[in-house]
A and B are shown apart, each in its own frame.
Chain A
Amino acid sequence: MRVLLRKLGFYLITAWAAISLNFLIPRVMPGDPADNLIQQFHGKLSPSAVQALRVLFGQSDKNMWQQYVSYWHSVFTGDFGTSYAYYPSQVSAVLGQSMYWTLILVTICTVLGFLIGTSLGMLAGWKRGSWLDSLVPVTTFLSSIPYFWFAIIIVYVFAITLKWFPLSGGYAVTESIGMNAGFIGSAINYAVLPAATITVASIGGWLIGMRNMMVTTLSEDYVRLAEAKGLPKRRVMYAYAARNAMLPSFSGFAMSLGFVIGGSIVTEVVFNYPGIGTVLFKAAQAADYPLMSAIFLLITVLVLIANLIADIAYVFLDPRTRES
């Protein structure tokens, strides 16, 4: 319990640091994004929009501390002002629409990538020295490919040349969003290529990490003892080698997730997928700072939650962490 509280404390500190960083960046960086944006719109902004902008990017009439307090107020109320890329939508509304697409896509891809990569890595480590070793250079190549380029190739082959799957978007425009079979089927159909891209590109990292840990674990005395005990091979492989070898994957979850998120952002752009990645791309194109900083906050909070879950799972998998 104390371990869990400490983990929670760490993530709260990290969240605070990230949110404060988001507050500091526009104020430290050269230029004044708020003034730039206000000028771009030539006075067409409503006073409340200007006010929200000032809260986010710097109010010349208040000191840092007051600005910080009102910034936190807007974080908690979810009021990030008006989006300029999607004018006149509110930032929160834009995110509300796009968030779920990304959340579902990335969750499924992370789970799939982890399961496939870890299983293959387990086998490759268990049978090191066999043909499975050739998985290593292959997956190394796959994971060295930039996600977005892989996406382009996949689109070129499966959408343009073979026409098996739709080219871009998140669902057929003929369907209406909601819990109906037509929409869900269409959403799955549209998600296949982006999901395949992210999954295939992320397998490599899991595979290589798991394989190396597996090889290291296999020379542990307790695996040798399990063998000496005459246990069935599967029991040795799963309960003694793989289960122990998997632990570092959990503690390295943050890094891997960071790669997947980064990869999915650019992948979405290629597929014009209606998720946060595409929105971030448009926001960057339009210099929509409020939207960008809200996206950064949102992604950070989601990543922190995912990491917290991974950490909790780790505590359950490894009894040694439950103390001290």
Chain B
Amino acid sequence: MALQPAALAEAETVSETPDGSEGSVGPARLLRRLLRSPLTLTGLIITLIFLVLAVIGPWISPYDPSAVSDAATAAPSAAHWLGTTQNGQDILSQMLYGARASMLVGIGAAVVTTVLSVLVGVTAGYIGGLGDEVLSLLANVFLVLPSLPLTIILAAYLPHSGSFGIILVISVTGWAWGARVLRAQTLSLRKRDFVEAARATGEKTWRIILRDILPNQVAIIAASFLGTVTGAILTQASLAFLGLTDVTQWSWGTILYWAQVSSALLTGAWWWFVPAGLAIAVLGTALSLVNFGIDEFINPRLRQAGIGTKKAQRGQASVRRRPRRARHQGPAVRRPAGAPFTRESTDAILDVRNLRVEYVSGEVRTPAVSDVSFTLRRGEVLGIAGESGSGKSTLAYAITRLHKPPAEISQGEILYTKPDGGTVDVLGMDEAELRDFRWEELSIVFQSAMHALNPILRIGVQIEDVIIAHRPRMDARERAARIVELLGIVGIPADRANSYPHELSGGMRQRAMIAVGLALDPEIIVMDEPTTALDVVIQRQIIEKIMELKDRLGFSVVFITHDLSLLIELSDTIAVMYGGKIVEMGAADDFYRRPQHPYSRGLLASFPTLGGPKRELTGIPGSPPDLRKLPSGCAFQPRCPLAFDACASEVPRLYQVRGPGGGSTEAACLLHAEGGAKNQAPAETTPNELATGETR
């Protein structure tokens, strides 16, 4: 199972193009993507127009750009569209000739620079070792050397050099940035499986670089190429403007040079200096727009909306807005400590009803969680199991209202029982109410503490800011004492409050994460795969800690994992998710002994039990459904060994299934529908057919 945050992975698999896989970013895909964004397309078109003008410029220009005439310093007119210079030279003709010189330098310098960058960057990244050290040092040195002064010096020693000299000078001073980026990229690609595999099979180095490494860097190389074109045109213009190039050769910079030395400003001849600067700026903007497109291609996160926007707020809950009530700021009502949880408990703390979360992409809405209902009782541990992509993490984020566009909660209620006994819909809370509710009542422990703790804030600070935000009356000393207490609860030495996350071991980080979660004594803790990233021994320690704390502090837990055996051990109730729906829910014990849904049976059959007799692990054939194209009827039907005709057409709701011991499970399977289906296949399937753990 992927270690990246599941919600992100889910968001990417359901977005319009599955570009979460950086493994294959080919040139064709890049171009297709670029053509789709209007801004990028505009940039491409403008760039192309300039290119065409640069090629045909000298043929279509109305005059010889250097030819003097009597029309000195004439404003734009029909004869001279862009006016004339002091000597009566036609500025439009100069611009057209200049386009060729400027574009030639821009593209020429970009080609040479890019070749240098790729050579140095890829070599350094690929060979590693001493060669890498030397090349990296060289690149870093060139990176901090101020390039324009160096360019000026070099250009000054090549007096009146033509375009070729300028191209060389710009390339020599400009290759370092691209080389550094490409080196980093090559380093990370080199560690990828497909490159390692190619190396292991004895593939020739240059073939690996050409076939496996370079194609994956097309986007970065293109970005650096376009950036250099802009930079080179600007540099050339600066050099020409300073009179360091051959000032008799027309380029946009030379036009500005002559305008400046002829004091065009003072004579008010704006037409002399406006066109050239505008041309450079427009071309530069166009190239940057194309580059933004490439940036968004490289980094898909750039396409998401920020969390400060209204749109993002809507994304968190699009259901309804309630009229805002006055916030009560009185002393919080503390609820009495609850009795230990039993199966018969009816003391509901969180009631989720018909929840639906969709990923919205244009007109397409892909449900990641649909029609999910469950009740969490005080002190209960609700385990939610499922494969990746089953919607379990999406569900966790929905309960905490942490979704960002494109995810959207489109339906349902999340009713929380307040300490005074009344209920409140979490989805209807406004910003302030939500801030009060968060952490005070419900906290969340993420899968990877490495990513969930801010790497540049001390552990203590990350606990303290919760207290500052929610308990404004506590003073610094009380807060410090509370931090020490919390760290003590999870077994972290008090002096570690001053440590940064990277200074802690993996297990300690995760415990720190739990300490953050406990900071305000919440009623509910949502744990999203809290131990997945840890090794088995540490995992066990953490789980034991959680269970011990739960018994001592009396909070309820929503525990999400794909690890079914772990879940059976620690949960009171288990819900199994498949294709965004809960397909089976029941007491852990009943679930373990008599799983009712064929999918649950398959899941149980693919995990070894901790105790009990040895048996063959069977697993489930096929793969999880694509949420964009869910099969009709029951989502599990294509993989189900017990599927019958009706399964392909009818979507099963959750049916009550009474076990022999009096326990009651719910299963979304037509096998358990009243009447009809039972005749076609027995509800109590023979255990031999689908091996399940019989005893514990």
Contacts and interface: CB of A to CB of B under 8 A. Distances in A.
Interface stretch (A59-67, A90-98, A109-117, A290-298): A290-298
Interface string B396-425: 000010101100000000000000000000
Interface string B266-289: 101010011011001111110111
Interface string B370-382: 0000000000000
B311 interface: yes
A219 B280 contact: no
Q: How large is the interface on A (under 10, 10 to 19, 20 to 34, 35 or more residues)?
A: 35 or more
Contact of A229 (B292, B405, B469): B469
B52 interface: no
B307 A261 contact: no
A137 interface: yes
Nearest to B435: A230
- Kindly name the residue among A150, A225, A235, A320 whose own CB sees the greatest number of chain B CB atoms within 10 A: A225
A29 B265 contact: no
A227 B280 contact: no
Contact of B266 (A160, A257, A262, A296): A160
Contact of B465 (A130, A228, A229, A303): A229
Given A127-B306, A153-B274, A218-B307, 18 more contacts: A11-B144, A14-B145, A130-B308, A136-B292, A141-B282, A144-B287, A148-B237, A148-B238, A152-B265, A212-B302, A218-B304, A225-B444, A229-B439, A247-B456, A284-B156, A285-B243, A303-B144, A317-B456
Interface in B248-273: 256, 259-260, 265-266, 268, 270, 273
- Kindly name the residue among B149, B265, B404, B439 whose own CB sees the greatest number of chain A CB atoms within 10 A: B149
Given A230-B469, A266-B241, A319-B500, A284 B452 contact: no
B213 interface: no
B435 A125 contact: no
Interface in B1-47: 5, 8, 39
Nearest to B397: A224
A172 interface: no
Binding site secondary structure of chain B? helix
Interface stretch (B92-100, B135-143, B358-366, B534-542): B135-143
Contacts of A143: 284, 288
Contacts of B201: none
A140 B288 contact: yes
B654 to A, nearest CB: 29
Nearest to A269: B242
B446 A235 contact: no
B156 A289 contact: yes
Contacts of B448: 221
Interface in B133-187: 137, 140-141, 143-150, 152-154, 156-159, 177
Q: How large is the interface on B (under 10, 10 to 19, 20 to 34, 35 or more residues)?
A: 35 or more
A11 B140 CA distance: 10
B234 to A, nearest CB: 6
Interface in A162-192: none
B299 to A, nearest CB: 6
Given A145-B280, A216-B299, A225 B452 contact: yes
B281 A299 contact: no
A281 interface: yes
B434 interface: yes
B244 A299 contact: no
B500 A258 contact: no
A265 interface: yes
A319 B177 contact: no
Given A25-B153, A216-B299, A262-B238, A319 B265 contact: no
A17 B141 CA distance: 8
Nearest to A223: B307
A33 interface: yes
Contact of B146 (A224, A227, A299): A299
A148 B149 contact: no
A258 B238 CA distance: 14
Contacts of A220: 451
A13 B136 CA distance: 13
A149 B280 CA distance: 10
Nearest to A241: B307
Contacts of B346: none
A129 interface: yes
